[in-house]
Amino acid sequence: MTLKNDRFLRALRRQPVDRTPVWLMRQAGRYLPEYRATRKQAGSFLAMAKNPELACEVTLQPLRRFPLDAAILFSDILTVPDAMGLGLYFVEGEGPKFRHPVRSADDIARLAVPDMETELRYVTDAVRTIRRELDGSVPLIGFSGSPWTLACYMVEGGGSKDFAKVKSLALNDPAAMHRLLGVVTDAVIAYLSAQRAAGAQALQVFDTWGGVLSPRMYREFSLRYLQRIARELERGDGDQRTPLILFGKGNAAYLGELADSGAEAVGADWLVELGDAARAVGGRVAVQGNLDPVTLYASPDAIRDEVGRALDSWRDGNGGSREGHVFNLGHGMSPDMDPEHVAVLVDAVHTLSAR
Ligand code: CP3
C-alpha cells in the first residue's frame, strides 16, 4: 500500500523531504481530554492497552487534532515482562509495579521468551486494527523497551531513583545479569518482529535508563544488547526495509557507536546540540529529536523560536541539508501540557522547515 504521507520514512532513509517530519513521544496520553474519557470507559490504563479497539482509538486521537507525520502504537514497554509472568500493575501516582520482581539467579533461570501469538496477541491485534484505521494516511511505529531498561523495572520491581538493585546485580553477578539481558533481548527481538509482521512500518527501542550507567557499564549492559537487536532483527531490504530507531536518554556520548550498530536512526535527548549529534553520526544514520519537553510549557513564540533553533542546528551540523532529521521531543510529554502548544510546535516544524 502506498502511503499518503511518507515523510517520516523518507527522513529515516535520509532521502529528501518537502518538510521535516514530526511526531512526539507520548503523543497519546493524559494531556488529551479525549484520552482521559477513553481511559475512564476502559476502567484502567492496562484494560485500555489490552483492548485493541480502545488502543486503536487512543492511538488515533492525537492525529485527529494535529497534522503529525507518524502514529505510534498505544501500548507500554512493560507488556513484555508482564507476559513473562512478572504481573504488571499500576498504583495511581506511583507508576508501574511488578508483583513478582526478578531478584535471584533462580528467578532469572525461570524466565522464558513469551509466546507472541498468545501472551502478546493483544499487541499485534492492536497493530493490525490501527493499520486498517490509518488507511495509509501516515506510517505506524511499533516499539519495545531496551533490554537494559526492561531489566531495570524487572529487578527494581518498579521505578527507581538510584537503580541500586539492578546495578548491584550487574556488579555482584555479571554472569546472571547477562543471562537476564540475553533472554530479554530474545524476547525484544521476537516482539519487534511480531509487530513488524502485523504491520508496524518503523520500530523504536526505548533505552530510557541507559544514561544512568557509567560508560563502562553502559557499553557492557546496554549498548551490547542494542547492537545485537540492530544486527539480528530481520527487517527487509532497500526501500522496503523497516527502519529501527534506537532512542536513549543520556546517550549523547555514544551517538557515534550507536550509529555504527546497524540501526537506521538514533534518538537523542535535549542535552546534546542537534548539530553536534549530526556531526557525531556523520550521515551514517538519521537522527530523531530533540527538543526539551519542558519547552511545551513556554509561550507559543518561545516554542517557535526553539523549533527554529533546533532545525537550524541540525542543518548546520549536517552540511547545510535538512535531510535525515525527524523532529521530536528529547523525551515524552507530560499530562499537564497544553494541546494548543502541541499544535504550535507541529505547525512550527512544518512551516519553518518548508522548502
Ligand atoms: O508515545 C506514545 O504515545 C505511545 C505509548 C507509550 C506509553 N508508554 C503509554 C503510557 C509508550 C511508547 C510508552 C513507553 C514507556 N513506558 C517507557 C519508555 C519511554 C519513556 O517514557 O521513557 C517507559 C519507561 C514506560 C513505563 C511506564 N508506563 C511509566 C513510567 C508510566 C507512567 C506512569 C504514570 O503514572 O505516569 C507508564 C504508564 C503509561 N504508559 C501511560 C501512558 C500514556 C500513563 C498511563 C495512564 O493513563 O495513567
Q: What is the C-alpha separation between 70 and 48, in angstroms, rounded?
A: 21
pLDDT tens, position by position, 87-142: 999 998 899 999 999 999 999 999 999 999 999 999 999 999 999 999 999 999 99
Q: Which of the pair, 155 or 92, is modelled with greater confidence?
A: 155
76 labelled as ligand-binding? yes
Query: All 3 cell numbers of residue 3?
Result: 502511503
13, 65, 76, 309: which one is catalytic? Answer: 76
Interhelix angle 300-317/339-353, rounded to 10 degrees, is 40
Give pLDDT, residue 93: 86
Domain spans of the chain, in order of start: 6-353
- Determine which residue's CA is closest to atom 25 belonging to ligand 1: 77
- Contact (CB, 8 A) for 288 and 264: no
Using CB distances shorter than 6 Å, the residues near ligand 1 are 25-30, 39, 45, 72, 74, 76-78, 95-96, 143, 159, 206, 208, 332
- For cell 556520548, name the residue: 253
Q: What is the C-alpha separation between 265 and 12, in angstroms, rounded?
A: 6
Q: Which of the pair, 355 or 190, is modelled with greater confidence?
A: 190
- Contact (CB, 8 A) for 259 and 280: yes
153 catalytic? Reply is: yes
282 labelled as ligand-binding? no
Cis previous bond, 5, omega within 30: no
Q: What is the C-alpha separation between 241 and 61, in angstroms, rounded?
A: 28
pLDDT tens, position by position, 5-64: 999 999 999 999 999 999 999 999 999 999 999 999 999 999 999 999 999 999 999 999
Fold of domain 6-353 = TIM Barrel (3.20.20)
Question: What is the residue-averaged pLDDT of the chain?
Answer: 97
| pTM for this model (two decimals) | 0.97
| 1 has pLDDT over 70 | no
- Determine which residue's CA is closest to atom 33 belonging to ligand 1: 95
153 labelled as ligand-binding? yes
103 catalytic? Reply is: no
Q: What is the C-alpha separation between 18 and 327, in angstroms, rounded?
A: 14
- Which atom of ligand 1 approaches the CA of 29 most closely? 43
- Determine which residue's CA is closest to atom 39 belonging to ligand 1: 76
312 catalytic? Reply is: no
Section 260-270 average pLDDT? 98
pLDDT band at 155 (very low <50, low <70, confident <90, very high): very high
Q: What is the C-alpha separation between 182 and 339, in angstroms, rounded?
A: 40
- Across-strand partners of 289? 327
